Chain A
Amino acid sequence: MAEKTRAHELAERQREISVSEFFAKNRHLLGFDSPKKALMMAVKEAVDNSLDATVEAKVLPDIYVELQQVGEERFKVIVEDNGPGIIKKQVPNIFGKLLYGSKFHVLKQSMGQQGIGISAVLLYGQLTTGKGMHITSRISDKYPTNYFEVQMNTQKNEPVIAQEKIVEWNKSHGTRIEVELKGSYQKGRQSVDEYIKQIALINPHAKITYKTPDKQTIVYVRGVEQLPIEPKEIKPHPYGVELGVLIRMLQSTHSSTLAGFLQNDFSRISSQLSQQICTEAKLSPRAKPATIARDEAEALFNIIQKTKIIAPPTDCLSPIDEDALIKGLKKEVDAEFYCATTRPPSVYRGNPFSIQVGICYGGSLDKEESIRLMRFANRVPLLYQQGACAINEAILDIDWKSYGLNQSRGNLPSGPAVVVVHMASVWVPFTSESKEAIAHYDEIIKEIKLALQYCGRQLASYIRKNVKAREQRDRVNLFERYIPELANSLSLLSGEKKDVIEKNLNEVLEKGMKGLMAEIHEDENSEIKGKNVEFAEKQITLDEIN
């Protein structure tokens, strides 16, 4: 027998790493990089699921979120919804098995996409506290309420049921989860508080009750009473499918012929077109899909890319309508001007998408700071990695000065404004698994810019009409305040009576009010010139010089 080689030794150590184990070691890939972010992610995944489930069941969402601090860096997260509930045998798989979900295999606009979300929360909780997730769910008042404690076997990616019983619940349907995890609660732009505020803004049909770790209860009421249109499922468009996916689809299709596969498993391929593609790829239309070799699949892939295929149907999307977006903004942002727009659907790489933009301006918003940008994808707030996001690039690409905001090169515009950008798509192209930034596709950036520019024009017109007029009133008001001061000192200087001077000043002001605006810019030059005189380090103070 041959001597045992180094390769043999290594082979003994090499073994399949389960997906769960991989994620356990690479938790940052799913967004659980820090305790602060982990807490936000746990709430996010659970709330996203609740919103998806309620809309699917055509129920107006009523969601309860509670954070309890149970240790120095340990929190209990509770999320409860009035959704359709989960049937008993599915509960362990949905929560205790990664990549188990209904969403990955079909294309449909939804908050979750990969089926990683909630089970990743369970896994993270288990890794950091050793405890599983507690799930209470009921599908109707005709059924009992099931209660589970689920853990995960990370090597096998299998759920482990630690406890299971029937309990009493005052809800007729819905799901409640409780999970303990290592976390850190902070306020600010990337906090749970902010996430819930933004999710309430972008989902004005949802009522959300939030109890903070400080035991404060915040209720986000509904802005609209209608559910958004439920997005439809569509088959993938041929342009959007990568070679690897095409090969996988060939292996798992139910169609018995290649032509049938193309026609049935994709959108927008007619029987005539499927024949044409097969012919051009030099493949038999009657070939069994599972027998197509790799290089044949590649030929097929290349032909598909070259073939002219009409764009996918876009009625599958559920964009936020302008009215709902404005109502969402009005209830969460105290401003004086609101506008919103929804772009008609467009397509990137075979995936339909639509952009909505809302802008609010003035009111209590800070005049000196950068504008507040809120990014959303399929009704989910994106709180991290703003700089890497296509939305950010689109905003920086626009000259906001022409829309009445200030902007210095390469920065977000500044002014009292909140800008909301939402992308609805059957497949949002994120830059990473943690789903924080939208990838930079030209088609997407172009649509975002068009929507921003549309709202920008409305904003500019509002600022022109109202803000400038008010500024002018402020100016006149300011002069009125200066007049008595000037009259007083001028009287001392000239010997003329104070009230005579004051009367004359008021008359000149009245007469000149119309001409005021023209003069405003004049002075800037002399101001700048004045700064040319340079003394530097050695000067004592200006008064002492020379």
Chain B
Amino acid sequence: MTKKDVKNALNEFGLDLVNQLKKKKNPSFNVPTRTLSNVFFDEKSKTLKLGKKESARTFFNIGQAKKFLQTVEVAAVTKNLIDIDKNSSLRDVYYQVKRTIPGTKIELVEEQTETDKAIEDLEVITGFSREQLHVSANKNGSVAGNVVIEDKGDVIDWGKLGSGGWSIPSIVEAIQFKKVKADYVLYMEKAAVWERLHEDRFWAKNNCIIMSSQGQTTRGIRRLLQRLADEHKLPIYVLTDYDPWGFYIYSVVKYGSIALAHASERLTIPSVRFLGITAEDIEKYDLKKHFIKLKDTDIARIKQVSQYDWFKDNQAWQNQFKKMKQFGAKAEIQALSSRGISFISEKYLPEKIKKKDFLD
């Protein structure tokens, strides 16, 4: 794959539409449907994959014209980015496309989610990733550990970056690992917990890498985790809140997500394990007094997640969902702090990891 291939793919997308026009056809292109109904769980690779359902997007169709135009506009923007060899953020792309259509009161795009979607569409149309289209997301997440990398000529030691650690960029393809000295990677959804562990030098004492996001796991984090798992054979352990949303964070890292099923190959890590917080932890570490009552949306989400193909027949996970419903409650990772500020780094994590107390 070269830059030229990406450019050619975009160019062909345009030429195909022009050829349709020359044949006096209503220009149209197909986009694979990226919804739950067109995503299946591939038992062999243990990842989510996109099905074969496609929907047509046609220009002379009042309900589709705007989306059609958005997609072509975004394609033109990315082609230009590649031409001038610059990266642009999702937000930049939005502003490059955003304008009022002359003679009307119609905004070509109203929300950034519309251009974001158009970029995802382009990924599936061209077969190239967002990063290859020179579009990046905001950086999100921090990492610390006994690791040295090289990024665009700078040599960076993940262990010597003060209290903030290294912020994970949206595109991690070009990073080279110079030295990786760790037994495993601990990935957590809470930045506050990461800060606690970093302050306690958890990664140095336990010879590991600690990584966090704030909420959902971004592509950059997923790709970085995958590279550490693939290239350095490191086990990855996931630590989330005790709620269906936390479980889903683990699910996305392990199996992939519905919206990005087309990119599963580059992002999913079938070997990751769920470290906590589990229903058993709640009982063992006496966290019930920090329970938060489940809301209706939580209960609906439990039902949804528990019925996903990849959880449906997993007894251990069904047990977790069942228990949560019985408790009628959820809990945050920080509930562990009630046992002492460094309880998590001195007792909970070492104990769990030593006993290999994980869910698969």
A residues apposed to B, CB below 8 Å: 475, 478-479, 481-482, 484-486, 489-490, 492-496, 501, 504-505, 507-509, 511-512, 516, 519-524, 526-527, 529-530, 532-546
Identify the interface centre among B62, B80, B218: most chain A CB within 10 Å of its CB: B62
**Interface pairs (22), CB distance under 8 Å:** A478-B65, A481-B104, A482-B66, A482-B101, A485-B69, A486-B69, A489-B72, A490-B14, A490-B76, A495-B11, A504-B22, A530-B35, A532-B35, A533-B34, A533-B36, A533-B258, A535-B216, A536-B297, A538-B189, A538-B215, A540-B214, A542-B112
**A489 CA / B10 CA spacing, docked (Å):** 12
B176 contacts A by Cβ under 8 Å: no
**A178 CA / B304 CA spacing, docked (Å):** 70
Partner of B245, one of A505, A511, A538: A538
List CB contacts (< 8 Å) of B1-53 with chain A: 10-11, 13-15, 17-18, 21-22, 24-27, 33-37
B61 contacts A by Cβ under 8 Å: yes
B337 contacts A by Cβ under 8 Å: no
**A536 CA / B296 CA spacing, docked (Å):** 12
B113 contacts A by Cβ under 8 Å: yes
The answer to whether B112 and A481 touch across the interface, beta carbons within 8 angstroms, is: no
Residues 131-169 of B, flagged 1 when their CB comes within 8 A of A and 0 if not, give 000000110100000000000000000000000000000
**A479 CA / B140 CA spacing, docked (Å):** 40
Number of residue pairs A-B, CB distance < 8 angstroms: 167
Give the chain A neighbours of B249 by CB distance below 8 A: 538
**A293 CA / B91 CA spacing, docked (Å):** 91
Partner of A529, one of B21, B33, B108: B33
Residue of B nearest to A489 (CB): B76
Give the chain B neighbours of A484 by CB distance below 8 A: 102
Partner of A508, one of B21, B245, B304: B21
Residue of A nearest to B258 (CB): A533
Partner of B17, one of A494, A523, A540, A543: A494
The answer to whether A546 and B62 touch across the interface, beta carbons within 8 angstroms, is: no
Give the chain A neighbours of B63 by CB distance below 8 A: 519-524, 527
The answer to whether B25 and A508 touch across the interface, beta carbons within 8 angstroms, is: yes
The answer to whether A475 and B62 touch across the interface, beta carbons within 8 angstroms, is: yes
**A526 CA / B63 CA spacing, docked (Å):** 10
Give the chain A neighbours of B140 by CB distance below 8 A: 540, 544
The answer to whether B267 and A546 touch across the interface, beta carbons within 8 angstroms, is: yes
The answer to whether A542 and B61 touch across the interface, beta carbons within 8 angstroms, is: no
Give the chain B neighbours of A489 by CB distance below 8 A: 69, 72-73, 75-76
**B188 to chain A: closest CB distance in Å?**
13
**A395 to chain B: closest CB distance in Å?**
31
**A482 CA / B257 CA spacing, docked (Å):** 34
**A512 CA / B219 CA spacing, docked (Å):** 42
**A479 CA / B26 CA spacing, docked (Å):** 12
The answer to whether A544 and B103 touch across the interface, beta carbons within 8 angstroms, is: no
The answer to whether B21 and A539 touch across the interface, beta carbons within 8 angstroms, is: no
The answer to whether A526 and B24 touch across the interface, beta carbons within 8 angstroms, is: no
Give the chain A neighbours of B304 by CB distance below 8 A: 534
**A479 CA / B64 CA spacing, docked (Å):** 11
Give the chain A neighbours of B18 by CB distance below 8 A: 490, 494, 496, 501, 504
Q: Report, nearest first, the 8 A-B pairs whose CB atoms are least far apart.
A: A523-B63, A493-B14, A494-B14, A504-B21, A489-B76, A492-B76, A543-B90, A538-B245
Give the chain B neighbours of A527 by CB distance below 8 A: 63
Given contacts A481-B101, A486-B69, contact A526 B33 (CB under 8 A): yes
Give the chain A neighbours of B66 by CB distance below 8 A: 482
Residues 98-127 of B, flagged 1 when their CB comes within 8 A of A and 0 if not, give 000111101010001100110000000000
**B352 to chain A: closest CB distance in Å?**
23
The answer to whether B65 and A482 touch across the interface, beta carbons within 8 angstroms, is: yes
Give the chain A neighbours of B58 by CB distance below 8 A: 519
B252 contacts A by Cβ under 8 Å: yes
Residue of A nearest to B90 (CB): A543
List CB contacts (< 8 Å) of B300-331 with chain A: 301, 304
The answer to whether B216 and A520 touch across the interface, beta carbons within 8 angstroms, is: no
Give the chain B neighbours of A539 by CB distance below 8 A: 215-216
Interface contacts beyond A493-B72, A538-B215: sample of 15 additional A-B pairs, CB < 8 Å, sorted by A: A482-B66, A482-B69, A489-B75, A489-B76, A490-B14, A490-B76, A493-B10, A493-B79, A494-B15, A496-B15, A508-B60, A533-B34, A533-B259, A544-B216, A546-B260
Give the chain A neighbours of B68 by CB distance below 8 A: 486
The answer to whether A494 and B60 touch across the interface, beta carbons within 8 angstroms, is: no
B128 contacts A by Cβ under 8 Å: no
Residue of A nearest to B267 (CB): A546
Give the chain A neighbours of B27 by CB distance below 8 A: 505, 508
B198 contacts A by Cβ under 8 Å: no
The answer to whether A545 and B108 touch across the interface, beta carbons within 8 angstroms, is: no
**A541 CA / B111 CA spacing, docked (Å):** 11
**A135 to chain B: closest CB distance in Å?**
57
**A494 CA / B75 CA spacing, docked (Å):** 10
Given contacts A478-B62, A519-B60, A544-B138, contact A536 B301 (CB under 8 A): yes
Residue of B nearest to A531 (CB): B35
The answer to whether A493 and B76 touch across the interface, beta carbons within 8 angstroms, is: yes
The answer to whether A546 and B72 touch across the interface, beta carbons within 8 angstroms, is: no
B59 contacts A by Cβ under 8 Å: yes
Give the chain B neighbours of A524 by CB distance below 8 A: 63
**A537 CA / B241 CA spacing, docked (Å):** 13
B217 contacts A by Cβ under 8 Å: yes
Given contacts A526-B55, A543-B112, contact A505 B21 (CB under 8 A): yes
The answer to whether A495 and B14 touch across the interface, beta carbons within 8 angstroms, is: yes
Give the chain A neighbours of B117 by CB distance below 8 A: 542
**A288 CA / B84 CA spacing, docked (Å):** 111
**B56 to chain A: closest CB distance in Å?**
9
Residues 250-274 of B, flagged 1 when their CB comes within 8 A of A and 0 if not, give 0010000111100100010000000
**A530 CA / B103 CA spacing, docked (Å):** 30
Give the chain A neighbours of B64 by CB distance below 8 A: 523
B222 contacts A by Cβ under 8 Å: yes
Give the chain B neighbours of A507 by CB distance below 8 A: 24
**A492 CA / B15 CA spacing, docked (Å):** 10
Give the chain B neighbours of A540 by CB distance below 8 A: 140, 214-216, 218
Residue of A nearest to B93 (CB): A543
